[in-house]
Amino acid sequence: MSDSVDRRALLRGAVAGALGLSSLAALGAEVPSTNPTTGNASDAALKGNIRHSVARWTFNFLTLEELSLVVQRLGFSAIDLVGPKEWHILKQHGVDSSMCNGAELNLEDGWGDSRFHQPLVERYREHIDLVADAGYKNLICFSGNKRGTDPEAGLKQATKGLKKILAQAEKRGVVLQMELFNSKVDHPDYFADNSAWGIELCKRLDSPNFKLLYDIYHMQISEGDIIRTIQNHHQYFGHYHTAGVPGRNEIDDTQELYYPAIARAIQATGFTGYVAQEFMPNRATTAEKIESLQAAIRICDV
């Protein structure tokens, strides 16, 4: 038997063990979700006030099929940051592509620099149609890096470029979501490294089909004041990402953010989009990493 087959078998066994199942295939059965610790199905029922998701890249030790089965078993059905070539896997399992990707050039060459507008416009026009035709809604985009350009000039260039695709997004019912990153630790020189820059871009574009992906991890590092920002500016935020600070690890009491209060603040705004877990599980085994995802969902399930 090949190494890849051996690895797949081991992963399936680990995933199944984490959920108290004899085989991963059982995850597809119409059975209640079960708490992997207590075995009590009622323990795992989610409240339905927050729409949960998880970023595919932070759980890439599982195949997309395995992750799809895991999230369903944990009581939700959405995965972030999956592109068109793999949507068929999500559809096979009834899982939503809660934040589509694949139109971007990369994280550095974005809408704040007019040199990249032509290829970006071509790619986003194609992907807007792909997203709409697939029945999805959200498509991620990025400001890119400054490279010596001042923030106001970047705003003007981003506005000019994005206006070339917004009418199509509005017509097809697709929401472009620009992610806010920190430039202090993870993404040096990034334009949209603060909520004020992104909010001003939203105001200039003045479209319900352009929103900000408010990444709580990144904005805690950049500026803090998370709950007040959500309360005062929630109308500009179309999606949320979570992770622990410092380190992007689990969102538990080992780090400085208190996610139950943050989740309640999001809920209180009437938000109906997704809150996606984007932490890096700092655990030794696959089973423990899956348990950390379930714990994070519980923390945010207010």
How many whole angstroms from its chain centre is CA 155? 24
| pLDDT at residue 74 tops 90 | yes
pLDDT above 90 as % of the chain: 85
29 vs 294, residue with greater confidence = 294
For residue 65, is pLDDT > 60? yes
* Burial of residue 50 (number of CB atoms within 10 Å: 0-12, 13-18, 19+): buried
Under the banding of pLDDT at 50, 70 and 90, the label for residue 17 is low
DSSP state of 194: S
pLDDT at 186 over 60: yes
Q: CA-CA distance, 279 to 290, in Å (whole number)?
A: 12
User: For the residues 137-151, what does the mean pLDDT come to?
Assistant: 98
Q: What are the percentages of helix, strand and coil residues in the chain, rounded to 5?
A: 50, 15, 40
What domains can be seen in the chain, in order of their start residue?
Answer: 3-300 (3.20.20.150)
pLDDT of residue 137: 98
d(CA 236, CA 200): 10
Please provide the average confidence, as pLDDT, over all residues in the chain: 90
- Choose between 79 and 34: higher pLDDT: 79
**Per-residue tokens: 254:** 């080992």
- In a 13 Å sphere around the CA of 201, the CA atoms on its Cβ side amount to 38
- CA angle, residues 93, 127, 101, in degrees to nearest 5: 60
**Which pLDDT tens digit goes with each residue over 252-261?**
999 999 999 9
**Cα–Cα distance measured from residue 100 to residue 84, given in angstroms and rounded to the nearest whole number:** 8
**CA-based nearest residue to 112, from 152, 140, 81:** 152
* CA distances, 17 to each of 26, 162, 175, 277, 286 (Å): 12, 47, 38, 22, 9
* pLDDT at 36 exceeding the cut of 70: no
